[in-house]
């Protein structure tokens, strides 16, 4: 069963990089999510209010937390295990549909930001820009994209100033992909679920994996009132 947790104002709920095992919903109070903007490098603050979820993407995608979560004021949050949240979503498919729409918008924003980042880097130094994008994907644990970018770097710049590091990063990405079978997502839903619902859940999880490199959590929130 979901467990209520109490946090005083200023208390840390989780750190960036922590294992993601729970999905949270704010029952009372407010929570601040702090992460870095990939274009500016500045801290972004995203407030989660009563009735909203947070920590959804990293927990369901089995990725480390990508932000710090801090109680802005005395807060009570409900902590769901992944299985409990999946059961909740399967009982109300409108939650899944909402998540798909939200993550679709998030994915478009990700592409826009990455393209903007690549353009800025390429205007200054195309070699450094390509290497920088590869490092971003590797740091974000998007090993498939990192492998592609570093392989392209070594094709275009075999004697480049970052060639040795690119080769090392490429090997790191390939090793990680080999360990995860090439797909870093979570487990599929139990086979006992109806086929249509199982397909819907798997589709949602594909979105979690697709947007997992994006550091913002503003679009990983869900309104509890969707149940109503």
pLDDT (tens digit per residue) in 115-143: 766 666 555 577 888 898 899 999 988 99
DSSP secondary structure of 2-50: -EEEEE-TT-EEE-TTS---EEEEEEES-EEEEEE-TTT--EEEEEE-T
Q: Is the Cβ–Cβ distance between 65 and 14 less than 8 Å?
A: yes
Structural domains of the chain, ranges and CATH numbers in brackets: 3-102+215-227 (2.60.120.10)
pTM: 0.49
pLDDT score of 95: 67
> 74-106 pLDDT, tens per residue?
999 999 999 998 888 788 777 677 666 666 666
DSSP secondary structure of 180-228: HTT----PPPPTTS-HHHHHHHHHHHHHHHHTTT----TTS--BGGGG-
10 Å CB burial of residue 85 (0-12, 13-18, 19+) is buried
Those residues of the chain that have pLDDT short of 70 are: 38-40, 95, 98-106, 109-111, 113, 116-124, 181-228
Q: Give the end-to-end CA distance of the chain in Å, rounded to a whole number.
A: 20
pLDDT score of 49: 87
Q: How far apart are CA 213 and CA 66, in angstroms?
A: 9
């Amino acid at each position: 069963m979901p467990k209520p947790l109490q946090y005083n104002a200023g208390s840390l709920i989780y750190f960036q990089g922590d294992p993601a095992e729970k999905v949270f919903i704010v029952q009372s109070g407010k929570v601040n999510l702090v992460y870095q903007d990939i274009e500016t490098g500045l801290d972004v603050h995203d407030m989660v209010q009563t009735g909203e979820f947070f920590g959804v993407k990293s927990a369901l995608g089995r990725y480390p937390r990508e932000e710090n979560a801090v109680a802005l004021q005395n807060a009570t949050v409900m902590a769901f295990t992944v299985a409990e949240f999946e059961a909740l979503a399967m009982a109300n498919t409108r939650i899944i549909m909402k998540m798909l729409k939200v993550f679709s918008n998030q994915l478009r924003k990700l592409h826009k930001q990455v393209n903007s980042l690549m353009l800025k880097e390429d205007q200054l130094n195309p070699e450094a820009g390509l290497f920088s994008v590869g490092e971003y994907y590797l740091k974000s644990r998007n090993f498939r994209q990192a492998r592609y970018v570093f392989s392209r770097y070594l094709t275009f710049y075999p004697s480049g100033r970052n060639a040795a590091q690119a080769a090392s990063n490429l090997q790191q990405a390939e090793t990680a992909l080999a360990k995860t079978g090439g797909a870093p997502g979570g487990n599929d839903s139990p086979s006992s679920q109806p086929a249509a619902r199982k397909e819907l859940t798997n589709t949602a999880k594909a979105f979690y994996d697709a947007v997992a490199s994006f550091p913002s959590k503003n679009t990983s929130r869900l309104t509890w009132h969707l149940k109503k």
